[in-house]
Structures are given as structure tokens and as C-alpha cells.
Amino acid sequence: MSARDAMLGRIRASLADRPPVPGVPRGYRTSSPPDVDPVALFSERVRDYRATVHRRAPADVGATIATALATRGARRVGIPPGFDRALIARAAVEVVVDEPPLARAELDALDGVVTACAVAIAETGTIVIDAGPDQGRRALSLLPDYHLCVVGADQIVGTVAEALARLDPRRPLTWISGPSATSDIELQRVEGVHGPRTFDVVIVEALSPALPDPPAPQEAVP
């Protein structure tokens, strides 16, 4: 008998008492309360992870990206093949397109990476990238030490449930909530281990004019 058949047989035998299949009571919230502004909540929650958030009108996004890259001291910056180059044109950096795919060592040598995202979640301060053309393959947003992610205001949903409904499980997905972190030493959170240690988010406001930046997080990311 194959291991497969043996295991399935044992499992069936163990369920000889025919436990009932319960209905799933889904009494939890799947959308945000109506008075919640998802963009404002998203900004606040991302900042809680000690990432920097900028909210900008479309016309100001290029300048904000340029300033952010300059602030981080980035000189060679990777972008996915489908990323809107105009957004990074004003930055005083060498732009490296991941096409043909860069070798691991080349990715590792980049100062940073700028990508778009697939969806963002307000309640948890999460962005999700799905390897779409403007987000690139997974390694691109992983090996460089700095990640700047451009998020459209219309991409921000309230809850995890709403995000799942928008995502395609057949694509490789990476959910990112702030910079990489560990709690392995005395259960105290330290930002920055293997993934990008610095994480900036630029939110592109849909219609409203430029808004002032939210106050800087208490402890600025170095």
C-alpha cells in the first residue's frame, strides 16, 4: 500500500465517529466601520511599524520619491519592468530596470527598490505585492535594503477580508507590514533583519489636493 493510501485510510478510520461538519459562524467584522477613513487609518497604522508615510497628489509624487531616495542616500535604485518610469525620472539616481532579471548579487548591491503594490489594508497597515509588472518578481523587493512602495489611494481597502477578495491566490503574494523585524531577543521588537530595513510608503491621493505630511514617527527610521 502506498503511503498516501495508508494515511488516507488511517485518517478515515480515525473519523469513524463521523464528527459533524460545523457551519462556520462568520460574526466578525469584514469591513471597516463607516466613519473610518481608510487612507488616514492606513497611514497611521503603517507609521506604527516605524515606516515613513507620505500622502501626495499625483503631480507631487515624482518629487516626493526623489526626495525620499535622496534622504536615504540611494544612488542605484531598481525598478520592476512595468513600473512607471516617469515617477522616478526626477530622482538623481541611476535607475536599474530588472529586465533581463538581475543576478542575486546585483540585486543585493542595489541601494534600494521602488515598486507599486496590488492592494493595501488600512486596519493592519499592510501592503500586498503580487509580482505584477509594476511590482516585479519577489526577489527584487527583497534583497535591496530599502523599499519604497507607491500605493494608490484607491488600492487601500479597510480590512484583511476585503484585501483577500481582491487578490488572486494563483499569483505569488507577499504581505508587507512595515520593515522587517524580530522579537527573538527578549521578546522585544527590533526593526531590521533580513528584508529591507527601511520601508517608505508614498500614497497617491486620488482627487484631493496635496495634504500635509502626518507628523513624523516618534523614532525616525535611520
The residues in 51-70 that bind other proteins, with binding defined as CB under 8 A, are: none
* Least separation in angstroms between CB 105 and other proteins: 7
Does 160 participate in binding other proteins (rule CB under 8 A)?
yes
Binding mask 107-126 for other proteins (x = CB under 8 A): -x------------x-xxxx
- Cβ 147 vs Cβ 52: under 8 Å: no
- Whichever of 97 and 175 has its CB closer to other proteins, that residue is 175
Least Å distance, CB 201 to other proteins, is: 14
Specify the residue, 114 or 199, whose C-beta has the smaller distance to other proteins. Answer: 199
Residue burial 119-152, b: 16+ Cβ < 10 Å; e: rest:
bbbbbbbbbbbbbbebbbbeebbbbbbbbbbbbe
Decide: is 34 part of the binding site for other proteins (CB under 8 A): no
- Cα dihedral: 213, 218, 221, 222 (round 10): 120
Q: How far is the CB of 208 from other proteins (least distance, A)?
A: 26
Q: Which of 154, 150, 178 is nearest to 60 (CA)?
A: 150
